[in-house]
Chains A and B, each alone.
Chain A
């Protein structure tokens, strides 16, 4: 019960973030649709979470919190996600995630993903 309620809260928060971004930064060229955004958030929490922690506070991989990422350029984050860091354990997500997916994820990470 709690899970679905907090899940709804998270989704609402994410949608709000998206709406705000669209307002402030202008519309994204090809923003993932709502269903894809849900998939991406699930992937971020569960699969990125394998290494970065489900709450993104870090694990074997570094933390992906707003504080941790604030000085990292978007381009650096985008490249890291798409191409990985071969010397580290970070795999390339190109082929699984599109450039638009990654741009959207980076924007979400920069403003913070809401957690319970």
Chain B
């Protein structure tokens, strides 16, 4: 009798366990990501192993020019909306866990080295705000005040840097600020007079060089974070110069800068060219003619290919550069108005968003065949969770 009861209890327990695990569908997040649907204030959650979208999360506000970073455990996405909204989305539970309206007009953000802080760069009011990543409680407000103006500067090019730092650029002021949050109190180092109208910036993948693009003059501003005492210096003095510049209908993005083989592949401003630069001395070594003004110039993770998309009005073609020969090896037409590209963690596939065709196209990067297509409303940015473990992304 007793034994029968025990057996019965065991059976019931085992069944219950199975039921619970089936309901929870235990899984990792390393092959997940999201697609921004810019016009609808929504994102689609995607699975890069299945080549499928599996959920939609709505209510994220104005997502034009929205971007995302991921928590260190790759479970949560932080979405930076244009309207100042900062949202924390649980990829597994497929919902917003926290959301704050932290400014009137924003342009992106970053997560700290230790994963505890999320920073947002704002146009209105100009500056940077820092939040706890677990509950979005504000911990710091850094207005971008500068001499000679009552209005704080718009902030662009915000990235994380090694040593629990955030680095960003003041568009109106022409300054680069480094905020060190490793101690009890934040320490801010200002680098002034870096050039006029820095419109975007990036940090190199190892976290050493911070480089800002200048719209108002030629060249780029470089800060060596190993030697900040040397200050900001100008590199590529001819960048943006040369023959008559074409009208620029969309500024290139610097964040996607491809670096492969100690060579950086960078979008020319106002020219139908990708420039090749030696990262040892920051001298230009080659120029690759392309079919339009490049926006994103992104290296496949192994560095063998560089994929380029383009500004209006030639934005429906993607070109692939072979980095061995520095020649365009392939033209692709994924759809109308290609806005962004994202490689799978080891680069066997790339996802490409075609805004005006309302779709994301997935390519095999070895033979350029189309593997799948995902319907999405005005898709723009595509972000995969492996960004969680990359400096500056």
Q: Hey, which bits of chain A sit against chain B, CB under 8 A?
A: 2-3, 42, 45-47, 49-51, 53-55, 57-60, 84, 87, 89, 91-92, 96
Interface segment, B27-35, B244-252, B271-279? Answer: B244-252
Q: In the complex, are the beta carbons of B123 and A58 less than 8 A apart?
A: yes
Q: Specify which of B38, B215, B249 is in contact with A54 (CB 8 Å cutoff).
A: B38
Q: In the complex, are the beta carbons of B82 and A59 less than 8 A apart?
A: yes
B62 in the interface (beta carbon within 8 A): yes
Q: In the complex, are the beta carbons of B62 and A3 less than 8 A apart?
A: no
The smallest C-beta distance from A22 to any residue of chain B, in angstroms, reads 28
Q: In the complex, are the beta carbons of B82 and A91 less than 8 A apart?
A: no
Q: In the complex, are the beta carbons of B82 and A54 less than 8 A apart?
A: yes
Q: In the complex, are the beta carbons of A60 and B199 less than 8 A apart?
A: yes
Q: In the complex, are the beta carbons of B247 and A89 less than 8 A apart?
A: no
Q: In the complex, are the beta carbons of B215 and A58 less than 8 A apart?
A: no
B319 in the interface (beta carbon within 8 A): no
Q: In the complex, are the beta carbons of B82 and A53 less than 8 A apart?
A: yes
**A102–B355 Cα gap in the complex (Å)?**
24
Q: Which residue of B lies closest to A92 (CB)?
A: B247
Q: Which residue of A lies closest to B171 (CB)?
A: A60
Q: Which residue of A lies closest to B377 (CB)?
A: A3
Mark B58-84 against chain A: 1 for CB-CB distance below 8 A, else 0: 000010110000000000000000110
**A60–B121 Cα gap in the complex (Å)?**
12
Q: CB-CB < 8 A to B250: which residues of A?
A: 47, 50
- 17 A–B pairs (Cβ distance < 8 Å), ordered by A: A2-B40, A46-B337, A46-B356, A47-B250, A50-B65, A50-B251, A53-B105, A54-B62, A55-B64, A58-B124, A59-B65, A59-B107, A60-B156, A60-B199, A87-B216, A89-B215, A89-B248
Q: CB-CB < 8 A to B251: which residues of A?
A: 50-51, 60, 89
B312 in the interface (beta carbon within 8 A): yes
**A51–B313 Cα gap in the complex (Å)?**
15
Q: CB-CB < 8 A to B107: which residues of A?
A: 59
Q: Hey, which bits of chain B sit against chain A, CB under 8 A?
A: 38-40, 62, 64-65, 82-83, 104-105, 107, 123-124, 154, 156, 171, 197, 199, 215-216, 247-251, 312-313, 337, 355-356, 377-378
Please name 13 further chain A to chain B contacts, defined as beta carbons within 8 Å, in addition to the given A87-B216, A92-B247, sorted by A numbering.
Answer: A2-B40, A3-B39, A50-B249, A50-B250, A50-B251, A54-B62, A54-B65, A55-B64, A57-B104, A59-B107, A60-B154, A84-B247, A89-B251
Q: Which residue of A lies closest to B200 (CB)?
A: A60
Q: In the complex, are the beta carbons of A57 and B215 less than 8 A apart?
A: no
Q: Specify which of B62, B171, B249 is in contact with A47 (CB 8 Å cutoff).
A: B249
Q: In the complex, are the beta carbons of B355 and A58 less than 8 A apart?
A: no
**A28–B378 Cα gap in the complex (Å)?**
32
Q: Which residue of B lies closest to A59 (CB)?
A: B123
Q: CB-CB < 8 A to B337: which residues of A?
A: 46
Q: CB-CB < 8 A to B105: which residues of A?
A: 53, 57-59
Q: In the complex, are the beta carbons of B65 and A55 less than 8 A apart?
A: no
Q: CB-CB < 8 A to A87: which residues of B?
A: 216
Q: In the complex, are the beta carbons of B377 and A91 less than 8 A apart?
A: no
Q: In the complex, are the beta carbons of A54 and B197 less than 8 A apart?
A: no
The smallest C-beta distance from B310 to any residue of chain A, in angstroms, reads 13
Q: CB-CB < 8 A to A46: which residues of B?
A: 337, 355-356, 378
**A57–B356 Cα gap in the complex (Å)?**
22
Q: In the complex, are the beta carbons of A91 and B124 less than 8 A apart?
A: no
Q: CB-CB < 8 A to A91: which residues of B?
A: 247-249
Q: In the complex, are the beta carbons of A53 and B64 less than 8 A apart?
A: yes
4 tightest A-B CB contacts, nearest first: A54-B64, A91-B247, A3-B377, A50-B250
